[in-house]
């Protein structure tokens, strides 16, 4: 029996009231409800306040470099596909420093889940603009105002993602449900999580989001399989902000295309030098 | 050596210079000869001037040599550039339809295009006609070439047509050049070995060592490793990925290694630049990793298809902070196999990055090797955790500095690690005490690691008036220079294959009794000399440095030594 106690890690060092607490709780809840034991889970994070999350939960943990959570995560997944691999990072980590990895990991459709704590600002380095900061957002490094933001949800759909969701850190149950769905999805699942930053972002607060977000699955006639409809929802921002599963598509995961993995996890295969003998003949 | 010959095939990119070179080399190797071949090509897909040099002898050869006995000139430029490099009895084979040449008996026109079309049905096989011609001229057994063509093209029409082309060329030479014989190459009764290049040997070494994961971004001259391993992935049970960039490549390999697979990546200088961040990550998280840096002249893009030994100082200190590491530099094609096996074992046992420094020359030169005794390959995964899973600490403090490994998901033990400084359990910390303990623990691994490193090889007499000092791929040329000059002066060679941790004590001792020293390096500043000075205090003012992107030949080294002596 797996309980929330199994997923209680170190005491978080986040600011009181931070949106990260909700994400941590939602993730732990999802893992418990999926009946996964901590040792079956690998959390790979980047650097930033979000990158600390795995230490505050429990499981196998690889807290990697800024922007590099995805390549480490997919490398581990390919070596041992039996692991449930969850990559975790913030908007700066994933969409700026790790932007190249983001686009290509979802294009290749590795079978992992990526949680992005999107608070539209840099927290750990104290308040600089991020790729998702609103246009004109004035910070110490952008006195002239930030450049137009990227929309990670649109980017993901266009780049060929097979599972794209947007969630809100203040709606823990719904977020937890989406994380479960993402983990069960075969292929790359992106969950961009709207996360209030109580210290550096005074615009996009819990209150601001609560007044705007609505659940997509309560929207009549919405079909996440329809790319055109999905792109429309992905662009919606301002008065109303949709949360939920925006786009889903069934296609083979990268790991499904690797014939070697059909024979099981790489880490369980025996190493036999003599197998090279057959290859040496080609050089005679 | 009583029988020796030098061939050169010259042409433009796209004319099949490389294929012809490999086929001829393999034919001669099957004839029982020792073969050494190198290639010179431009960074383009069509045009330019490329050549493939083959040296063949009845005793061991480790470098190419001049002058040329048979020049196969596929275009005019090849003839013009190399006709002055011919030996006394040297000849040029060419097709008058493509190359204009006059000047006597040594110019041997062969209607390659016409014979290929008439006998084999297509001019595409003109090079095969020429290869047949080379065999006819040297008296080499045509059946050897037929066998190689069958293996190269596979059973079927294509190989049969090529065999017809080869026969046509062979007969043409027998009929038309009866009196001309630049060199005789009868079949030798010798146990035949393998013919392969440095990339092949390194890749086979990785497979023998149980490499299960390779991620690499294409870059000359490292790409052949990626391509070869990808071609064998299914048969050999490994995963090979071409990711978005070198940063992803090294991080994927780190992820796979953390999960428990033996993992590697391969690149060249500027790709290695991008990997430096990941190198530090492997160091701090104590993740075993093998990184191949197949050097080419830098900085930046440099000369993509040329050679240099310019990355030594870079890889020794790449990354901020003190990162424990190993640096190995194979000296021969055979070494590339065995040092790769060693690299994987050291990486696992000491849980750190191991860098294999090759270069364009070693990666692309072909040599005959007796074989690889696979029963000699040992796989040592290092210390594995066997205690109670709930007590597992990935970075436990130990006397040796080595913390036993566990693999995530294979037991209830949780494997926690962090690129931040971390405590024994792998959680991030800012404690001054723990930081100092973990740094010291990681560096402590270097103590026993030093015992694993072989001292440099001393070739030649123990005591000498002159000692040449080199490292990596220059070995063959240096060794031959020593052999040639041994008649004139008492000299030897101190050659490094394992560069870090630096075997300082052994080197100090070896250098203490020497006479004059001369370092020979394929770079502009004498990077090994700097390392020796830093580690032993012994300076080497006399340096023969070559940084034009071309490899050393024995003749070049001898000439430079003579200049320095006078």
Residue B564 pLDDT more than 90?
Answer: no
User: B327 touching A, CB under 8 A?
Assistant: no
Q: How many CB atoms lie within 10 A of CB B273?
A: 17
pLDDT value at residue B566? 62
Give chain A positions within 8 Å (CB) of B238: 260, 266
Does residue B565 register a pLDDT over 80? no
Please tell me which of the candidates A78, A104, A263 has its beta carbon nearest to residue B256.
A78
Nearest residue in B to A68, CA atom? B251
Rounded CA separation B15/B6 (Å): 21
Q: Which residues contact A264 (CB under 8 A, 6 or more apart)?
A: none
**Where do the H-state alpha helices sit in B31-125?**
76-82, 112-115
- Taking the Cβ of residue B258 and every Cβ of chain A, the question of whether any pair is shorter than 8 Å is answered with yes
Tell me: the pLDDT tens digits for B222-246? 999 999 999 999 999 999 999 999 9
Determine which of A262-276, B149-163, B476-490 has the lowest per-residue pLDDT on average: A262-276
Looking at the complex, does the CB of residue B232 fall below 8 Å from at least one CB of chain A? yes
CB distance from A99 to chain B under 8 Å? Answer: no
Which residue segments constitute the domains of chain B, with CATH numbers given? 4-176 (3.40.920.10), 196-376 (3.40.50.970), 389-450 (no CATH), 457-565 (3.40.50.920)
Residues of A whose CB is below 8 A from B200:
283
Domain that holds residue A264: 4-283
Are B101 and B94 in contact by the 8 Å Cβ rule? The answer is yes
On whether any CB of chain B is under 8 Å from the CB of A62, the answer is yes
Chain B residue numbers with beta carbons less than 8 Å from the beta carbon of A73 are: 255
Full 3-state SS string of B210-226:
CCCEEECCCCCCCHHHH
Spell B248-268 as b/e; 16+ CB within 10 A means b.
bbbbbbbbbbbbbbbbbbbbb
> What is the value of pTM for the model shown?
0.97
Compute chain B's Rg from CA coordinates. 26
Q: What are phi and psi of B111, to 5 degrees?
A: -75, 70
Residues 506-545 of B with CB under 8 A from A: none
Q: How far apart are CA B104 and CA B371, in angstroms?
A: 44
**pLDDT band at residue B66, thresholds of 50, 70 and 90?**
confident
Say if residue B59 is exposed, middle or buried (CB neighbours under 10 Å; 0-12, 13-18, 19+). Answer: exposed
- DSSP letter for each residue of B220-287: TTTHHHHHHHHHHHHHHT-EEE--SSHHHHHHHHHHHHHHT--EEEEE-HHHHHHHHHHHHHHHHHT-
- Cβ distance B408 to A39 less than 8 Å, yes or no, reads yes
- Non-local (6+) Cβ contacts of A235 within 8 A are A151, A154
Q: Which residue has the higher pLDDT, B179 or B202?
A: B202
Q: Is A203 on the interface with B (CB under 8 A)?
A: no
- Could you tell me if A71 lies within 8 Å of chain B, comparing CB atoms? yes
- Look at phi and psi of residue B319 and say left if phi exceeds 0, alpha if psi is from -120 to 50, else beta: left
Q: Is A235 exposed, middle or buried (0-12, 13-18, 19+ CB in 10 A)?
A: exposed
Min mean pLDDT across B74-78, B98-102, B529-533 is at B98-102
Contact A223, A245 (CB under 8 A): no
Query: How far is the C-alpha of A70 from the C-alpha of B176, rounded, in Å?
Result: 66
Instruction: Return all residues near B70 (Cβ < 8 A) that are at least 6 apart.
Output: B5, B6, B7, B8, B90, B91, B92, B93, B134, B137, B138, B182, B183
Closest CB to A101 among B238, B248, B411: B248
d(CA B112, CA B165): 9
Residues of A (24-53) whose Cβ lies below 8 Å from B: 37-40, 42, 44, 47, 52
Locate the chain B residue with the closest alpha carbon to A74. Answer: B252
Do residues A224 and A149 touch, judged by C-beta distance below 8 A?
Answer: no
Angle, alpha carbons B408-B414-B419 (nearest 5°)? 80
Contact A76 B372 (CB under 8 A): no
Cβ–Cβ of A74/B207 closer than 8 Å? Answer: no
Do the Cβ atoms of A72 and B252 come within 8 Å? yes
- The verdict on B30 touching A (C-beta cutoff 8 Å) is yes
pLDDT tens readout for residues B324-355: 999 999 999 999 999 999 999 999 999 999 99
Of B29, B50, B8, B62, residue with least CA distance to B331:
B62
Cα separation, B216 vs B252, in Å, equals 9
Where residue B80 falls among pLDDT bands split at 50, 70, 90? very high
- Residues 215-274 (A) with a CB less than 8 A from some CB of B: 258-261, 263, 266-269, 271-274
Rounded Cα distance between A202 and A211, Å, is: 15
Residue B351 falls in which region: left (phi positive, over 0), alpha (psi -120 to 50) or beta:
left
* Tens digit of each residue's pLDDT (9 = 90 or more) over B542-555: 999 999 999 999 99
Q: Helix crossing, B269-285 with B246-259: angle to 10°?
A: 30
Q: How far apart are CA B297 and CA B221, in angstroms?
A: 11
Q: What is the ipTM, given to two decimal places?
A: 0.98
Of residues B296, B359, B365, B353, the one with CA closest to residue B330: B359
Give the model's pLDDT for residue B348.
98
> What letters, b where the CB count within 10 A reaches 16 and e where it falls short, cover B82-97?
bbeebbeebbbbbbee
ω before B341 within 30° of 0 (cis)?
A: no
**B248 touches A at CB < 8 Å:** yes
Q: Is the pLDDT of residue B300 over 70?
A: yes
Closest CA to B502 of B472, B458, B535, B459: B535
Q: Could you state, in chain order, the average pLDDT of each consecutive group of 10 residues for chain A (284 residues)?
A: 96 96 98 98 97 98 98 98 98 98 98 98 94 96 96 97 98 98 98 96 95 95 96 96 98 94 88 91 94
Report the alpha-carbon distance of residue B107 to residue B143 in Å, rounded: 26
Q: What are phi and psi of A155, to 5 degrees?
A: -55, -45
**pLDDT number for residue B416:** 98
d(CA B498, CA B354): 11
pLDDT reported for residue B1: 59
Strand order in the sheet with B239-241: B239-241, B213-215, B263-267, B289-295, B353-359, B326-328, B498-500
Looking at the structure of chain A, the number of domains it has is 1
* Contact assignment for A64 to B237 by CB distance below 8 Å: no
Q: Report the C-alpha gap between A147 and B387 in whole angstroms.
A: 54
- A86: contact with B, CB 8 A cutoff: no
User: Cα angle at B471 between B469 and B472, to 5 degrees?
Assistant: 155
B363-395 pLDDT per residue, tens: 999 999 999 999 999 999 999 999 999 999 999
The owner of tokens 């006819």 is B136
Return d(Cα B524, Cα A149) in angstroms, integer. 47
CATH code of the domain containing A196: 3.40.50.970
């Amino acid at each position: 029996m797996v309980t929330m106690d199994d997923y209680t890690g170190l005491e978080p060092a986040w600011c009181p009231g931070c949106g990260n607490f909700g994400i941590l709780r939602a993730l732990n809840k999802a893992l418990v409800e999926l009946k996964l034991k901590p040792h079956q889970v690998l959390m790979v994070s980047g650097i930033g306040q979000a990158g600390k999350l795995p230490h505050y939960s429990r499981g196998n943990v690889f807290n990697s470099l800024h922007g590099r959570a995805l390549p480490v995560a997919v490398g581990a997944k390919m070596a041992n596909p039996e692991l449930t691999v969850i990559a975790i990072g913030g908007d700066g980590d994933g969409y700026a420093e790790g932007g190249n990895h983001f686009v290509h990991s979802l294009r290749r459709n590795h079978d992992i889940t990526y949680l992005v704590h999107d608070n539209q600002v840099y927290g750990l380095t104290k308040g600089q603009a991020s790729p998702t900061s609103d246009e004109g957002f004035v910070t110490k490094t952008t006195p002239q105002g930030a450049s137009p933001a990227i929309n990670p949800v649109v980017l993901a759909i266009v780049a060929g993602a097979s599972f794209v969701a947007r969630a809100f850190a203040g709606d823990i149950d719904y977020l937890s449900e989406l994380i479960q769905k993402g983990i069960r999805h075969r292929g790359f699942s992106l969950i961009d999580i709207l996360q209030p930053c109580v210290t550096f972002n005074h615009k996009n607060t819990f209150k601001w989001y609560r007044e705007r977000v609505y659940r997509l699955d309560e929207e009549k006639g919405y079909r996440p399989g329809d790319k055109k409809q999905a792109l429309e929802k992905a662009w919606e921002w301002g008065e109303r902000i949709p949360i939920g599963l925006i786009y889903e598509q069934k296609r083979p995961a990268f790991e499904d295309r690797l014939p070697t993995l059909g024979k099981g996890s790489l880490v369980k295969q025996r190493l036999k030098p003599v197998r090279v003998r057959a290859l040496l003949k080609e050089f005679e | 050596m009583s029988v020796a010959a030098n061939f050169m095939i010259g042409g433009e990119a796209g004319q099949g210079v490389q294929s012809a070179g490999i086929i001829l080399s393999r034919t001669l190797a099957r004839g029982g000869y020792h073969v050494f071949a190198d290639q010179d090509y431009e960074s383009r897909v069509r045009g330019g001037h490329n050549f493939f040099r083959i040296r063949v002898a009845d005793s061991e050869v480790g470098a190419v040599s001049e002058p040329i006995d048979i020049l196969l000139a596929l275009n005019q430029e090849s003839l013009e550039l190399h006709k002055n490099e011919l030996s006394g009895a040297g000849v040029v084979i060419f097709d008058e339809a493509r190359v204009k040449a006059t000047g006597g008996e040594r110019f041997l026109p062969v209607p390659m295009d016409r014979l290929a079309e008439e006998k084999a049905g297509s001019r595409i096989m003109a090079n095969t006609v020429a290869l047949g011609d080379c065999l006819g001229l040297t008296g080499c057994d045509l059946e050897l070439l037929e066998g190689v063509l069958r293996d190269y093209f596979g059973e079927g029409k294509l190989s049969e047509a090529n065999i017809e082309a080869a026969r046509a060329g062979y007969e043409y030479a027998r009929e038309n050049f009866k009196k001309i014989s630049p060199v005789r190459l009868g079949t030798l009764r010798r146990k035949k070995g393998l013919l392969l290049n440095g990339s092949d040997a390194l890749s086979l070494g990785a497979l023998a060592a149980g490499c299960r994961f390779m991620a690499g971004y294409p870059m000359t001259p490292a790409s052949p490793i990626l391509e070869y391993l990808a071609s064998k992935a299914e048969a050999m049970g490994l995963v090979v990925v071409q990711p978005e960039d070198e940063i992803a490549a090294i991080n994927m390999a780190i992820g796979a290694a953390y999960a428990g697979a033996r993992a590697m990546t391969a690149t060249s200088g500027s790709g290695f630049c991008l990997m430096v961040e990941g190198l530090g990550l492997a160091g701090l998280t104590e993740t075993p990793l093998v990184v191949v840096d197949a050097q080419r002249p830098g900085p930046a893009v440099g000369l993509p298809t040329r050679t240099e030994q310019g990355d030594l100082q870079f890889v020794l200190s790449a990354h901020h902070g003190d990162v424990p590491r190993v640096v190995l530099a194979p000296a021969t094609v055979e070494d590339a196999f065995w040092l790769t096996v060693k690299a994987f074992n050291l990486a696992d046992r000491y849980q750190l990055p191991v860098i294999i420094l090759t270069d364009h020359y070693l990666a692309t030169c072909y040599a005959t090797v007796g074989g690889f005794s696979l029963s000699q390959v040992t796989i040592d995964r290092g210390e594995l955790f066997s205690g109670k899973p709930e007590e597992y600490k990935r970075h436990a403090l130990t006397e040796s500095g080595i913390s036993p490994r566990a693999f995530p998901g294979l037991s209830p033990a949780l494997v926690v690690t962090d690129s931040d400084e971390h405590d024994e359990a792998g959680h991030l910390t800012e404690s001054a005490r723990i930081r100092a303990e973990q740094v010291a623990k990681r560096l402590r691994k270097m103590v026993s690691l030093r015992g694993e490193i072989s001292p440099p090889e001393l070739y030649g007499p123990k005591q000498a008036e002159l000692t040449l000092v080199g490292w990596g791929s220059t070995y063959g040329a240096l060794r031959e220079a020593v052999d040639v000059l041994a008649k004139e002066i008492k000299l030897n060679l101190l050659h490094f294959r394992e560069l870090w941790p630096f075997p300082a004590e052994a080197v100090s001792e070896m250098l203490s009794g020497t006479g004059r020293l001369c370092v020979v390096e394929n770079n502009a500043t004498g990077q090994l000399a700097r390392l020796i000075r830093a580690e032993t205090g012994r300076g080497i003012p006399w340096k023969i440095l070559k940084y034009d992107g071309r490899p050393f030949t024995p003749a070049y080294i001898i000439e430079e030594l003579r200049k320095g002596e006078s």
